[in-house]
Amino acid sequence: MTLFYLISILVVIADQAAKWAVRSKMQLGETIPVWSGHLQFTYYENSGAAFSSFQGFGPYFAIVAVAFVAAVFYYRRKGVLRGPLLEAASGFLVGGAIGNAMDRVIYHQVTDFLVFGSRGGILNLADLAINAGGLLVLVHLLKKPLKRFSLKR
């Protein structure tokens, strides 16, 4: 099994398990402090997108997620997304997209519960995976320019 599939599957499983635990053990709006001032669990249902924007349009984002996943598979098949960095990045992105799309299709909203810091937004594991994937894509894009810069010194 390639790194892409391994990460994608692990992200979906961890994300859905965590969301199930939150939905079954917490009341909507309930907050549980985990690490004083740094992390808390707050059960929230988001029917929109990031930062609670576009409330009520969640099902449309499921369509976007399916199109995104299809595009990743297409570019993987063409050999564009190869190498450990892009395998991992696309695995995190696809796993996160599938995790949130599953919520949107099944529940018509996404379960969020992670709050970092006192003024942070509210996220879930799929969101963290998408951020990790985006960061790895950025590292991939900066790898060559940074290498050239360090060789010139």
Q: Residue 28's closest CA among 92, 97, 125, 109? A: 109
The three-point CA angle 105-43-51 to 5° equals 70
CB atoms within 10 A of CB 13: 13
27: its two tokens: 């009341």
The residues, any chain, with a CB within 8 Å of residue 93's CB and separated by 6 or more, are: 68, 72, 129, 130, 133, 134, 137
Alpha-helix runs per DSSP H in the chain: 3-25, 58-77, 84-107, 125-152
Active site residue 127: yes
Active site residue 103: no
- Annotated active-site residue in 43, 72, 127, 133: 127
- Annotated active-site residue in 112, 113, 123, 126: 112
Supply the residues annotated as catalytic: 112, 127
